[in-house]
Amino acid sequence: QVIINSTITPNMTFTKTSQKFGQWADSRANTVFGLGFPSEQQLTKFAEKFQEVKEAAKLARDRSQEKIETSSNHSQESGRETPSSTRASSVNGTDDEKASHVGPAEAHLKAENDKLKIALAQSSSNVKKWETELQTLRESNARLTTALQESAASIEHWKKQFSACKDENDQIRGKIEELEEQCNEINKEKERNAQLSRRLQELETELQDKELELEELRKQGEIIPQLMSECESVSQQLQAAEKKNKDLEEKVRTLRTEVEESKHRQTNLKTELKNFLDVLDGKIDELHDFRQGLSKLGIDN
């Protein structure tokens, strides 16, 4: 806590330098006082109270001047009335009456003159004090002007810094928006990768099914030579027993037709399997390239 001891005079001026700070100059203490407030309302209340005290000091000064003027006027009036009474006494009265009237009048005049001299000395001393206060106020005004100029320069400096910070903030917001867009693109790529992973799993499942079918076809292909040998033996038997059993010949022809169809089917299956393996190899290569691209994107990010 700081105690401020300042006598408020009618010539003082309280200046609001900002919304929460005010100051005034004390010529007697040769000091400029400043106060900061938590809010603008408290600053306004203090300024109003300062003005009330200033008006009270002005009224007190005016009353003292009126008393001085009244006393001086009273002394002048008594001075003007005394010579007339003395003249009247000198004209109309005797020498004893003159002596009796002139003595008290001169004493009264001397007392009034002494009072006037004291009042004049006080007024001259007050004038000197006021001149000193005026000079101090001028110096305080000069210091206040300098302080206001410095505060205005600091305000301009802070305004420039605020503008620079605002521009930098706009740039950072732009970068944040760009990063958000990149994050959205990355999320989209992640979704595409998830879809491709699911599709790859489906293809792997289909490939396993095709491999099982191929294994079955291979097993069937191993059985076909045995069937061929059996067909040959049956054909020989059929040739030997051609005349005896035509029904067996028809069965052999049917079996041959089935064998041909099974061969043709096996050939088609091999062709389809080869094409499917070629397509699958291409898909696997594409998936490998896509995974390399994703790994590069992850490294860049």
What confidence tens digit (pLDDT) does each residue in 208-256 have? Answer: 999 898 888 888 877 877 778 877 887 777 677 667 767 766 777 888 8
Integer angstrom CA distances of residue 167 from 5, 31, 127, 181:
47, 42, 58, 21
Whether 151 shows a pLDDT value over 50: the answer reads: yes
Helices (H), ranges, the chain: 40-92, 95-240, 246-300
What average pLDDT does the chain have?
78
pLDDT band of residue 61 (cuts 50, 70, 90) is confident
Domain range 13-68, its CATH number among 3.40.50.2300, 2.40.30.260, 2.30.29.30, 3.40.250.10: 2.30.29.30
Q: 297 Cβ partners below 8 Å, 6+ apart?
A: 186, 189
Task: Give phi and psi for 199, each to the nearest 5.
Answer: -65, -35
Distance of alpha carbon 237 from alpha carbon 188, whole angstroms: 71
Mean pLDDT of 97-125: 65
pLDDT at residue 203, rounded to an integer: 92
Mean pLDDT of 165-177: 88
Q: 11 Cβ partners below 8 Å, 6+ apart?
A: 27, 130, 133, 134, 137
Where exactly are the structural domains of the chain?
A: 13-68
* Crossing angle of the two packed helices 95-240 and 40-92, in degrees rounded to 10: 170
pLDDT band of residue 100 (cuts 50, 70, 90) is very low
Asked whether the beta carbons of 25 and 32 are under 8 A apart, the reply is yes
Q: 132 Cβ partners below 8 Å, 6+ apart?
A: 27
pLDDT band of residue 97 (cuts 50, 70, 90) is very low
DSSP 19: S
Integer angstrom CA distances of residue 178 from 118, 182, 185:
87, 6, 11
